[in-house]
Amino acid sequence: MYPGSRIVDSVIGNQVIIKDCSIIEESRIADQATIGPFAHLRPGSVIGERAKIGNFVEIKKSTVGEGSKANHLSYIGDALIGRDVNVGAGMITCNYDGFEKHQTIIEDDVFIAAMFSLSHR
């Protein structure tokens, strides 16, 4: 565990790397996963083997499957993320319809990303 991180009521597997300034609360992290820096795992987060949760990624009450990665600037809440999923920068799960929260499900071997282009004039 690197400096400035905090772990509360969580289960951490073998060979897990927890980088600087990460917060892990009431979560489970499987073997060989990498967390941070500056990641926040809120209660109910389950991180699979060899998964990577990177810079400024927040996970809440979600499962991130084996080998999946969210490398930077993302929010995953109330979601089930499959195996070998790549969550691109700036992605969020929006699953509140104004009355209820629903679970977002992203199946195995998926790449999700925000798409935009810049035009030069």
Q: Report in angstroms the alpha-carbon separations of 79 from 17, 38, 93.
A: 23, 20, 7
Name the one residue in this structure whose structure tokens are 């300034």: 21
Active-site residue, selected from the candidate residues 40, 72, 102, 120 = 72
Q: Provide the residue type at 4 as one letter.
A: G
Residue 72 a catalytic site member: yes
Cα 84 from Cα 51, distance rounded (Å):
8
Residues annotated as catalytic (active site), given as ranges: 72
